[in-house]
Amino acid sequence: MVPYMLLLPQLAIVTIFFLWPAAEAIQSSFYLEDPFGFGSTFVGLDNFTDMLTSTDYGRVARFTAVFTFFVTFLSLGFALLLAVKADKVLRGASTYKTLLMWVYAVAPPVAGLIGVLLFDQHVGPMVDLFAMFGWKMQIGVNYFDTSFAMIVTAVWKQIPVNFIFFLSGLQGISKSVQEAASIDCRSGFRRFWTVTFPLLAPTGFFLLIINITYAFFDTFGIVDVIVKNEPGNNPVTLVYKVYLDGFRGNDLGGSSAQSVILMALVFILTIIQFRLIERRVHYT
C-alpha cells in the first residue's frame, strides 16, 4: 500500500489537470460547438481540414517557424560564444557568469514589457538608433518590425539558459582531453572545432530541443505584451492562436484541433529529447 499512498497526490493531480483536459481537447477537436453553447455536433476531421487550409493558420505557422528558427539559432550562437569566452577567462570569471545569467529570472512578459519600452515609437532608444540608419521602426503596426522586436526580446531572454548549459558542458570536458588536444593541435580555433565542439554536441542537441520548446510555448508572454494584447494583423505564434481562438474567438473545436496538432509536435520533440538523453548518458 505504501507506494500507492506516496504516488496518490501526484497521480490525482495529473489525472484531473492533465489527462482529463488532454482527453477533452482531443474529443472537442472532432466537434463543432454551438456558438451559444447549446450543444455540439460531431464533425469528424472538419476542424482539422478547416484549420490546415485556412490562410490565417498558414500565416501563423510560417511565422512560428521563422520565429523559432531565429530565436533558437541566435540565442544558441551568442550563448556558445559567450560560454567559450567565459570558460577561458580566469579573472572575473564568476562576475561575468553572474551578469550573463541573471536574466534567466526575468519573466517573459516582463522581458516583453522592456522590449515594448525600448522599441516604443515615441520614447524607444532602439527606434532612435535604427532611425540613424534610415529604418523607421513601427512596432505594432509594421509586421516585419514587430517580428524583429519579438525575436530580439525572445533571444535576449533565452541566452542565459543556453549560456549556463554550454558553460557547464565546457567545464565538464576533462582537463586531460583538453591538454591532449593542445599537444596534438597548435591552432586554438581548429582545436575548438575538432575537439571541443564535438564533445559539446550532445549538450547542443539537447539545447536545440529545449530552445524549440521555448520558442513555441514559453514566449507566449513576450508575444502577448509586444502585440499589446491587440493582435490585429501582428505576427503571433501558434500557441498564441490557440489562446486567441479559444478564449477570444470562442471557437472551441478549432482551438482544440490546434491543440492536438501542437500536442503531436511536443510528443515528437520529447521522443527526440529522450533519445538524445540516452545518447548523452552513453557519452559520459
Of residues 210-249, those binding another protein (CB under 8 A): 210, 213, 217, 220-221, 224-225, 228-230, 239, 242-243, 246-247
Site residues for another protein, 110-129, by CB under 8 A, read 110, 112-114, 117-118, 120, 122-125, 128
Minimum distance between the CB of residue 90 and another protein, rounded to whole angstroms? 7
CB-CB contact of 155 with 82 (8 Å): no
Residue of the chain from 66, 89, 129, 177 that contacts another protein (CB under 8 A): 89
Q: Which residue, 69 or 247, is less far from another protein as judged by CB? A: 247
Provide the grid cell at 173.
570536458
Within 10 Å of residue 51's Cβ, how many Cβ atoms?
Answer: 24
Q: How far apart are CA 119 and CA 128, in angstroms?
A: 9
Cell readout for 32 is 463543432
24 is an interface residue for another protein by CB under 8 A: yes
**Of 43-51, 55-63, 66-74, 78-86: span binding another protein (CB under 8 A):** 78-86
Q: Binding mask 135-174 vs another protein (x if CB under 8 A, - otherwise)?
A: ---------------------x--xxx--xx--x------
Q: How far apart are CA 255 and CA 247, in angstroms?
A: 9
Q: Any residues with CB less than 8 A from the CB of 66 and at least 6 apart, and which? A: 147
Residues β-bridged to residue 40: 33
Distance CA 115, CA 150 (A): 8
> Measuring CA to CA, which residue among 240, 54, 262 is closest to residue 146?
240
Whole-number Å distance between alpha carbons of 163 and 101: 7
Residues 115, 153 contacting (CB under 8 angstroms): yes
- CB under 8 A: which stretch of 36-44, 49-57, 65-73, 79-87 binds another protein? 79-87
Distance of CA 253 to the CA centre of its chain: 25
Query: How far apart are alpha carbons 143 and 126 in whole angstroms?
Result: 17
All cell numbers assigned to 131: 532611425
Q: Does the footprint of another protein cover residue 106 (CB under 8 A)?
A: yes
Residue closer to another protein, measured from CB, 72 or 255: 255
Which residues, 33 to 62, sit near another protein by CB under 8 A? none
Stretch that binds another protein, among 9-17, 52-60, 61-69, 193-201 (CB under 8 A): 9-17
Q: Tell me: does residue 3 bind another protein (CB under 8 A).
A: yes
| Closer residue to another protein (CB): 128 or 184 | 128
Q: Which of 44, 58, 77, 188 binds another protein (CB under 8 A)?
A: 188
- Position among 101, 151, 154, 212 found at the interface with another protein (CB under 8 A): 101
Which one among 30, 60, 75, 97 touches another protein, defined by CB under 8 A?
97
Closest approach, Cβ 104 to another protein, in A, equals 6
Q: Which backbone phi and psi does 33 adopt, to 5 degrees? A: -85, 135
Count residues contacting another protein (CB under 8 A)? 92
Q: Is 270 in the site for another protein (CB under 8 A)?
A: yes
**CA 265 distance to own-chain centroid:** 13
Q: Rounded CA gap, 102 and 84, in Å?
A: 18
